[in-house]
Amino acid sequence: MLSQTVEYALRAVIFLASVSPDAQTTSEIGRATQVPLAYLSKVLQGLRQEGILKSQRGVGGGISLVRTPQELTILDVVNAVEPLGRITTCPLGLAAHGEHLCPLHRRMDDAIQVMEEAFHSTTLAEVLADPNPSIPLTNIGAPLCGVPATSQKKKK
């Protein structure tokens, strides 16, 4: 449904949003998000090329958000990694249909659209602010489950 890469990308940007506007190294992001490090670097590279993230090489460098968490929606991230694939033209290739879809494809696109709207209506800041108060278990309520919320250790 949603690809593994989308899952990884969202974990990464949520974590980055939680420390925004600070930069984090790929290793730090990997540790926090539990994403395989070698693959994470590819995902982050893609997000940078799409203008979601920016990077700084060298000592003290790392990855950070281009926009603020208030300005960045879940949809922005999803579309940067793998566009949702709205159905805009007839998949059967009937050019005569133009922008008008048959009843089947209209409903398929409608379903994709409601998902798109759900993603568009939520910013990273809103995810972070969600207290999720009704849940009593350990570590629940963190924007990204299992992530040590805004770990503030600066060694050296």
Partner DNA sequence: TTAAATCCGGACATTCACATCCAATTTATG
Partner DNA sequence: CATAAATTGGATGTGAATGTCCGGATTTAA
CA 86 from centroid of its chain's CA atoms? 18
Of these, 12, 14, 16, 44, which contacts its own copies (CB under 8 A)?
Answer: 14
91 binds DNA (CB under 7 A): no
Q: Which does 71 bind (CB under 5 to 8 A by kind): DNA, its own copies, none?
A: none
Q: Which tokens in the block code for residue 66?
A: 């281009």
d(CA 143, CA 126): 9
Binding flag, residue 77, its own copies (CB under 8 A): no
Span of 12-20, 38-46, 95-103, 141-149 interacting with DNA by CB under 7 A: 38-46
Instruction: From 56-64, 71-79, 96-104, 114-122, give the range in contact with DNA by CB under 7 A.
Output: 56-64
- Among residues 5, 122, 125, 151, the one that binds its own copies under rule CB under 8 A: 122
Residues forming contacts to DNA in the complex (CB under 7 A) are 3-5, 8, 24-27, 36-39, 41-42, 44-45, 48-49, 55-63, 82
